[in-house]
Structure 1
Amino acid sequence: MPNLNVYSVLVVLFLTCWAVMATKENDQIIKENNCETKMGLPCVLETFTAIFKTVSISNKCCSELLTFGKVCQSTLVKRTLENHLFKSLNPTTIIVKNIQT
């Protein structure tokens, strides 16, 4: 059960950060943090596959993801969820997978 409590706290913290980031436009946050230049396209695709599907992320892409940073990752996931193509996904599930990744 302690894992569930830690997990719940992480979800709450992530949602809080997400709400704060919502005050700015996602594109502005991406531009300000140079998110588009921090990670190579193959690792971006692999990371999003790990978040939006059930796939593991390689050590190489995991290293790039750490360099990418939480702000960039969270903003891009949020922007993706706002896209009408992804409206059928459960945002809570995606947030949990994002934290796990």
Structure 2
Amino acid sequence: MASLNVYSALVVLFLTCVAAMATKANDQIIKDNNCETKMGLPCVLEAFTCIFETGTISSKCCGELVGLGNVCHSTLVKRTLKNPLFKDLSPARIIAKSIQTWNNCLALIDSPSPSA
């Protein structure tokens, strides 16, 4: 019985360490890529609303999001999901909305503009 308690404690410790390492890895990626400085606040709010709530993102902000890069985009979303304020959200749903927003913006930015 004592070995089961020790095993349980080791599993909890391991999972805690993995979660902490994932958060540190995300923070390092964000720092290394200057992710937090690549988008203006209005576009950050638009993207956040589009992904975490219900909203749309303008073509201007799509341009900033694509300029941010997919690594920064996905890492910032993952870091936000780790915040206790968002614990009630479905990570799978948010990740799906994040990918959908990224793909929509990428298609919008890559598509040729109509002739005037």
Length-normalised TM-score, structure 2: 0.65
Q: Which has the larger radius of gyration?
A: 2
Deviation of 1:36 (Å)? 1.3
* Structure 2 runs not aligned, ≥5 long: 1-21, 102-116
**Whole-Å separation in 2 of the counterparts to 1:23 and 1:31:** 12
The percentage of counterpart residues that share the same residue type is 73
**Alignment length (residue pairs):** 80
> What are the superposed Cα offsets for residues 6-25 of structure 1, whole Å, 9 maximum, x if unpaired?
xxxxxxxxxxxxxxxx4862
| TM superposition outliers: structure 1 runs of 4+ over 2 Å | none
**Whole-Å separation in 1 of the counterparts to 2:62 and 2:44:** 10
> What are the superposed Cα offsets for residues 12-57 of structure 1, whole Å, 9 maximum, x if unpaired?
xxxxxxxxxx486211110101101111111011101000112110
Q: Does the C-alpha gap of structure 1 residues 37 and 23 become closer, same or farther in structure 2, counting only changes over 3 Å? A: closer
1:1-101 → structure 2 map (5 Å cutoff): 22=22, 25-101=25-101
Q: Secondary structure at the match of 1:36?
A: helix
Length-normalised TM-score, structure 1: 0.75
Task: Give the letter aligned to residue 63 of structure 2.
Answer: S
- Greater RCO between the two (CA within 8 Å, min separation 6)? 1
Q: Does the C-alpha gap of structure 1 residues 79 and 23 become closer, same or farther in structure 2, counting only changes over 3 Å? A: closer
Give the RMSD, CA atoms, in angstroms.
Answer: 1.3
* Structure 1 runs not aligned, ≥5 long: 1-21
Task: Give the letter aligned to residue 74 of structure 1.
Answer: S
